[in-house]
């Protein structure tokens, strides 16, 4: 980031946290600010920097049908809109979580309700993703998380960590039902908490 104070007599270039960047932007003594921001994945909902090398990011994935490997059986199943949370430190993924939502991206706010991910390999309450022995790539820039989203949807799934749903439909039944549906049945989603509380916004 480069900032120029009024009068053009003071120039400063440095790396700052995003919240510090906003404070500087709001400083009436600052004449102009220019910054190079990292390329973000499409539909990024939130980015929070702890320091220059650590950040959390929340990415929205729209609803739709996706080819899914459930116990070595390929099924084209409906997914609700999803929110993926990643915690990155020194280019390494330290944690991954995923929750379902019901809103379109444009209507999403921190006060919206998040629901348990409806399928397997994700903790129903904490949203934590079980990657098993899958090696995760280094994340040089946030945009690289698109690779990880692709890995998530391409991975073989089972009933590990599956915590049920609002209507007590078994996971096998759920996959079969959602393979025949046109879109995900939101009545099956189990409420967890607000987006703000889960992602500490």
Residue-wise pLDDT tens digits, 39-94: 899 999 998 888 778 999 999 999 999 999 998 889 999 999 999 999 999 999 99
Beta bridge partners of 93: 88
Cβ density class 99-129: b for 16+ within 10 Å, e for less = bbbbeeeeebeeeebbbbbbbbbbbbeebbb
- 24: containing domain: 1-37
**Whether the model pTM is above 0.75:** yes
- How many folded domains does the chain comprise? 2
Residues 163 and 188 in one domain: yes
Residues 44 and 115 in one domain: yes
Residues 129 and 172 in one domain: yes
Residue 50 and residue 87 in contact, taking contact as beta carbons nearer than 8 Å? no
Residues 13 and 47 in one domain: no
Q: What is the pLDDT of residue 39?
A: 87
Residues 8 and 49 in one domain: no
Q: What is the pLDDT of residue 115?
A: 95
Residue 200's pLDDT band, with cuts at 50, 70 and 90, is: confident
Model pLDDT for residues 145-171, shown as the tens digit of each residue:
999 999 999 999 888 877 766 566 788
Residues 121 and 176 in one domain: yes
Residues 30 and 106 in one domain: no
Angle at 159 between CA 154 and CA 163, to 5 degrees: 115
């Amino acid at each position: 980031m480069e900032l120029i104070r009024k009068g053009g007599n003071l120039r400063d270039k440095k790396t700052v946290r995003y919240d510090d960047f906003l404070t500087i932007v709001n400083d009436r003594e600052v004449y102009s600010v220019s910054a190079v921001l990292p390329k973000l994945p499409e539909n990024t909902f939130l980015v929070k920097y702890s320091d220059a090398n650590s950040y959390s990011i929340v990415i929205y994935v729209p609803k739709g049908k996706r080819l899914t490997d459930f116990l070595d059986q390929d099924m084209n199943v409906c997914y609700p809109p999803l929110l993926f949370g990643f915690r990155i430190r020194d280019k390494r993924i330290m944690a991954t979580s995923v929750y379902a939502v019901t809103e379109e991206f444009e209507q999403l706010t921190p006060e919206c309700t998040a629901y348990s991910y409806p399928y397997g390999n994700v903790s129903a309450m904490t949203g934590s993703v079980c990657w098993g022995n899958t090696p995760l790539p280094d994340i040089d820039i946030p945009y690289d998380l698109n690779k990880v989203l692709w890995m998530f949807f391409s991975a073989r799934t089972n009933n590990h960590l599956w915590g049920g749903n609002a209507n007590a439909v078994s996971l096998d039944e759920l996959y079969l039902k959602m393979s025949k549906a046109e879109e995900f049945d939101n009545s099956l989603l189990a409420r967890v908490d607000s987006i703000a509380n889960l992602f500490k916004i």
